[in-house]
Structure 1
Amino acid sequence: MNRTPWQRRREPLDHVELARLLPAPGDPELPRGRLTRLEEHLMSEIQQHAGRQAGQSDERRSGIHAQSAPLVPPVPLEPPRRTRRRGALIAAAAAVAVLAGAVGAGQIIGGHRAGPGGASAVEANVPAPVVQVRPGTTHGLRLAMDRISLAAGQEKPAQPGPGQFIYIKSQVSWLSIEENVDANEHRTWVQKLHPREVWLSPDGRKGWLIEMGNGNTSKEGMDLDSDVKPYLSAPSYDYLKTLPTDPDALLKKIYRETAGHGDSPDQEAFTTIGDLVREQLMTPELTSALYRAAAKIPGVVLVDEAKDAVGRSGIAIARVDEKLAERTEWIFDKKSFTYLGERTVQIREADGIKAGTVTARTAVTERSVVDEMKLLPGTGTA
């Protein structure tokens, strides 16, 4: 299931829900875009906190304290869990009130995180890469999607059986921002490229994550066990096998079940498909249908050149989120048309982030089926 701390297109919070739980904040002095980013970071913290309260062995701890100096350390916009549960909000209402009050006063609370060996997450940040923003076009899009869908349909991935686990390894990097509230200045950073390993049971009830570079886990990792019934935004392998493989029926279901989320119905549908493709194992028929469904979403374009997180070059199927002025790119090999990874690029300056800044990047390097949780493919050892 996609219950892991994974990048999720800076999804807007349920502001009505938060408003009912919190006292009214003061007038924020931050720009709306910056405040939204801080709110989304807060939502991630709420959900992480709720997971720990439920007994998850998450090693991360946030040291929340007011800063005496105006320049605060980078606050990672880490991937929030996709599961939307009211209980997660209630479980950390006190923490929300503290942060809401600070933001309302025009100050930012420090986001220091102690990583493995006591290292701060701040030390893992590097300048964000900047690339040329290549134009997207619908010319050749249909042909490219046909080839991508055909390649996906012809793949023969291993299918997990009872007691086995899906293993996915990626290289990933996410955005961080450093704010100077008094001077109204900020700097954009990204985390150093780091490995992410996930083990998932077919029914979605058991899982394991190791991702030290994001401050999510220790060297040993954390469990992703869940008793939540799988659904589209938090699926399991078994659940995905129940989805229709007719592209029109599939897209209709995606629009229906994601209604009211994201910046727009079209963007949310595109994001949802991208989330499924990035860190799941699916039948070839479903993967092919997802790509054909994505081709029907308004605003989807073809970009003739893009690179994944490890530098592999390919073409990209992309869509611009106009509200955030960023383009999400799914990257495919130019010859085999197999999926390589995903990249998010700022297409024009917004909230002080310059055009061409790569704010997120991933590269899937292995998808396998193993016999035990934490077992590595081909080694026979955990």
Structure 2
Amino acid sequence: MIRTPWRRRDEPLDHAELARLLPAPGDPELSSDRLSGLEEHLMTEIRNEIQNGIRNVTPGAESPPRTGASTGARNVTPGAESGSRPARRPGRRPVLAGAGAALVLVAAAGVAALTGGLGGPGGSGGPGSAVAPPAGTVPAPVVQVARGSTEGLAGAVADISGAAARAELPEPRPGQFLYVRSEVSWMVTWDGADGKNESYVEKLHPREVWMSPDGGTGWLMEPYKESIDREGITLDGPGPSRPSLNAPSYDYLRTLPTDPDLLLKKIYDETEGEGNSPDQRAFNTIGDLLREQVVPPELAAGLYRAAARIPGVVLVDDSADAVGRHGVAIARADEADGARTEWIFDRETYTYLGERTVQTRDVEGVKEGTVRGHTAVTDRAVVDAVKQPPAASAPGERSAPPTPTSIPIPSAGT
């Protein structure tokens, strides 16, 4: 990434002189027709940008802040995470597409707040009228923030990394695809009629990703998103690309060192200058690698051990993924905004279940305990073609279930 350094001015800016050189400001009030036209144009541009970004983002470009997201919310939110993050091809880290598409909802709410409403149910479109919450959202859940501690962290990480190293994941052959299915939901901040921020989240919905081992070919299905066709969209790249930590492929992951110290040094070196702090960015990068990937077992073990070496990482005794499965969590709170990301593991098998981001303090209208986003991985497998479910693959190609099969997976809600 090429960065342009800030230049210090040799002498202070003379604002009075500058004001004399600029034309007088115009009347900011616009007609209702003009406002409607601008609103429609803005929404069209946002949808086009999201659609183009999902298909054509090249490694090193910037993903919308899950802020998670995405940001995100971070990734509006989320997915997630805090701070700026280099954009990458969604085929490399497809979960970010969900956070980016959620920006359409945020922008719509912003336009509504500026123009007095989008019209339709819940608002007349006139100045000061009530605005309905973003479509397809529900109030964000609020939970009791569990205390995190370094006590027991080393033992838990040893169990988690040991289970990851023993995982019997199938090795993908040329022409096959890595498949991940998740239930996901990210936060959308809505400016209500009283001008106060109100936290809403997307309805919990399924998300399926297929990626070739080299990362050059893939498919995403997430019908909940307006920017994604019901049959899904291609994640094929426009041409050869160089994989990296911000744009990984399975083949690239196989080349990474498994020693936790070497891994952590590489992560710090390659993410220097990104995010709110080096430690938070390192934690987020590891989480991104684990969230929607099929990671080689020895590397997964190394990543967990590396994460435990990051200052501020704690163990949370109880957390729950997007479908309500409880477990222990490796977690870290972002010092900048208080959003704590929790990687959740089954208490008995130490299998990765999913991720949750919880607000640990009141920040900019987002209250303590608000769940900014959560995911639940319900299947990881190797299949023979895009859009092919694991059951249709050859015998022995499907990976072991990531969670107890007796727990139902809801199709919507929180």
Alignment of 1:139-150 (within 5 A): 139-150=151-162
| Aligned partners of 2:183 and 2:377 also within 8 Å | yes
Q: Is the CA contact 2:85–2:275 (under 8 Å) kept in the aligned structure 1? A: no
Q: Which residue matches 1:274?
A: 287
The answer to whether residue 308 in structure 2 is matched with residue 295 in structure 1 is: yes
Aligned partner (choices 223, 228, 235) of residue 234 of structure 2: 223
In the aligned structure 2, how far is the partner of 1:154 from the partner of 1:328? 25
Partner of 1:207: 218
Equivalent-residue separation in structure 2 for 1:361 and 1:149 (angstroms): 22
- Provide the C-alpha distance between the structure 2 equivalents of 1:313 and 1:111, rounded to a whole number of angstroms: 40
Query: What letter is aligned with 2:53?
Result: G
Equivalent residue for 2:87, pick from 74, 84, 90 = 84
1:1-382 alignment runs, 5 A limit: 48-51=50-53, 54=56, 77=76, 84=87, 107=114, 122-180=134-192, 183-226=194-237, 227=239, 228-379=241-392
RMSD: 3.7
Q: Could you tell me how far apart the structure 2 residues matched to 1:248 and 1:76 are?
A: 28
**Deviation (angstroms), 1:331:** 0.2
Contact persistence 2:86–2:246 (CA under 8 A): yes
In 2, the alpha carbon distance for the partners of 1:141 and 1:211 equals 35
Question: What CA distance in whole angstroms lies between the structure 2 residues aligned with 1:174 and 1:262?
Answer: 19
> Does the 8 Å CA contact 2:136/2:202 hold for their aligned counterparts?
yes
The separation in 2 between residues aligned to 1:55 and 1:263, in whole angstroms, is 23
Letter in 2 for 1:132: Q
The secondary structure found in structure 1 opposite 2:158 is: helix
Name the SS for the 1:229 alignment partner.
coil
TM superposition shift of 1:212 = 1.7
SS of match in other structure, 1:218: coil
* 1:18-72 CA-partner distances (Å, limit 9, x unpaired): xxxxxxxx9xxxxxxxxxxxxxx9x98686254378599xxxxxxxxxxxxxxxx
Q: TM-score, normalised by structure 2?
A: 0.67
Question: In 2, are the aligned partners of 1:333 and 1:339 still within 8 Å (CA)?
Answer: yes
CA contact (8 A) 2:332 2:340 kept: yes
Tell me the distance in 2 between the aligned counterparts of 1:350 and 1:75: 13
Counterpart amino acid of 2:294?
A: L
1: CA distance, partners of 2:342 / 2:74: 24
Q: Distance in 2 between matches of 1:82 and 1:179?
A: 25
1-structure distance, mates of 2:386, 2:364: 42
Name the CA distance, whole Å, in 1 between partners of 2:275 and 2:370.
Answer: 22
Aligned length in residues: 306
Larger RCO: 1 or 2 (CA < 8 Å, sep 6+): 1
Compared with structure 1, are the counterparts of its residues 237 and 54 closer, same or farther at alpha carbon in structure 2 (3 Å cutoff)?
A: closer
Q: Distance in 2 between matches of 1:130 and 1:187?
A: 12
In the aligned structure 1, how far is the partner of 2:319 from the partner of 2:218?
32
- Are the aligned partners of 2:218 and 2:234 in contact in 1 as well (CA < 8 Å)? yes
Unaligned runs of 5+ in 2: 7-24, 26-42, 59-72, 89-105, 120-131, 395-414
Aligned-pair identity in percent equals 51
Cα distance, 1:376 vs structure 2:
0.6
Whichever residue aligns with residue 107 of structure 1, its letter is L
SS at match of 1:134: coil
Determine the C-alpha separation between the residues in 2 that align with 1:189 and 1:16: 38
Q: Tell me, yes or no, if the aligned pair for 1:75 and 1:111 is still in contact at 8 Å.
A: no
What amino acid sits opposite 2:302 in the alignment? A
Letter in 1 for 2:177: F
Unmatched runs of 5 consecutive residues or more in structure 1: 1-13, 18-25, 27-40, 57-73, 86-98, 113-119
- Decide whether aligned partners of structure 1 residues 297 and 52 sit closer, same or farther in structure 2, where only a CA change above 3 A counts: closer
Q: What do the CA deviations read for 1:222-273 (whole angstroms, capped 9, x no partner)?
A: 0111133211111000000010011100100000001111110000000000
Distance in 1 of aligned mates of 2:332 and 2:46? 24
Relative to structure 1, the CA distance from residue 121 to residue 232 in structure 2 (aligned partners, 3 Å threshold; closer, same or farther) is: farther
CA distance in 2, matches of 1:256, 1:75: 23
Name the structure 2 match of 1:32: none
User: Alpha carbons of 1:221 and 1:108: their partners in 2 closer, same or farther (altered >3 Å)?
Assistant: farther
- TM-score scaled by structure 1? 0.72
Instruction: Tell me the distance in 2 between the aligned counterparts of 1:345 and 1:50.
Output: 31
Deviations 1:81-126 (A, max 9, x none): 96538xxxxxxxxxxxxx99xx89x9379899xxxxxxx9933100
2-structure distance, mates of 1:199, 1:325: 33
Classify 1:76/1:369 alpha carbon distance in 2 versus 1 (closer, same or farther; 3 Å): closer
Name the CA distance, whole Å, in 1 between partners of 2:184 and 2:166: 27
- Is this contact kept in 2: 1:76–1:176, CA < 8 A? no
